[in-house]
Amino acid sequence: DIQMTQSPSSLSASVGDRVTITCRASQSISIYLNWYQQKPGKAPKVLIYAASTLQSGVPSRFSGSGSGTDFTLTISSLQPEDFATYYCQQSYRALRTFGQGTRVEIK
Amino acid sequence: EVQLVESGGAVVQPGGSLRLSCAASGFTFEEYGMHWVRQTPGRGLEWVSLISWNGGTIYYADSVKGRFAISRDNNKNSLYLEMNSLRNEDTALYYCVKEQVGGVPYFGYWGQGTLVTVSS
């Protein structure tokens, strides 16, 4: 199975901060990498797919980059509604795997 | 509007069995691969199983292989997960998920989840 490792596991940030979350795959997955946001009590929702394609309706302050094994999710200016947990997920293999999540908290 | 509604979650003893269902609407169910994904506080999100549009291709996570069986009924727009030999570590919120495909597959729509608790 492909292992996905996110860092950090949690971070504290202020409104307006630039936030970067990284995700590393245990083998090359090309651009088969997706990012999800999950708020408490809600199902995850996709933010970015294919490493850098913004899902329709997602604010442009979210962006993704990377290919191969190293990927990044960036929030250019953190907003109050962005405090949540973020997960990366690979779809290179049929056996899909998620990163362990990054919890973004208010400083 | 795409809707996925899971049901069947319950409290069950270790070694027991349970069948989860997912009722789909708002899209042409028979055209899409479907997944089960589970979530626990301690282990985050864990992919469980995938079934192709016609049921001809099926995959399982190693943690459930041999114990769980995914199936679908395209005439009823329904997805199922038969869970046997349940263990404490199967305790989780189970989500039914619709795959979006147009290049790189991703989980496009999620249900609200159904809770399975394995406990004596």
**Does B47 sit within 8 Å of A91, measured CB to CB?**
no
* pLDDT, tens digit (0-9, with 9 covering 90-100), for B47-71: 999 999 999 999 999 999 999 999 9
Residue B105's pLDDT is 96
Average pLDDT of span B27-37? 97
B contacts of A97 (beta carbons < 8 Å): 47
* Mean pLDDT calculated for residue range B103-114: 96
Cα separation, A60 vs A71, whole angstroms: 18
pLDDT at B22: 98
Does B113 sit within 8 Å of A43, measured CB to CB?
A: yes
Which residues in chain A have Cβ-Cβ distances shorter than 8 Å to B51?
none
User: What integer pLDDT is reported at residue B2 of this predicted model?
Assistant: 96
The sheet carrying B68-73 orders its strands as B3-7, B18-25, B78-83, B68-73
Contact B50, B78 (CB under 8 A): no
Query: In the predicted model, is pLDDT for residue B43 greater than 90?
Result: no
Beta strands at A10-13 and B78-83: parallel, antiparallel or unpaired:
unpaired
**In this complex, do B113 and A94 lie within 8 Å of one another by their Cβ atoms?**
no
Please list every residue in chain B whose beta carbon sits closer than 8 Å to the beta carbon of residue A37: none
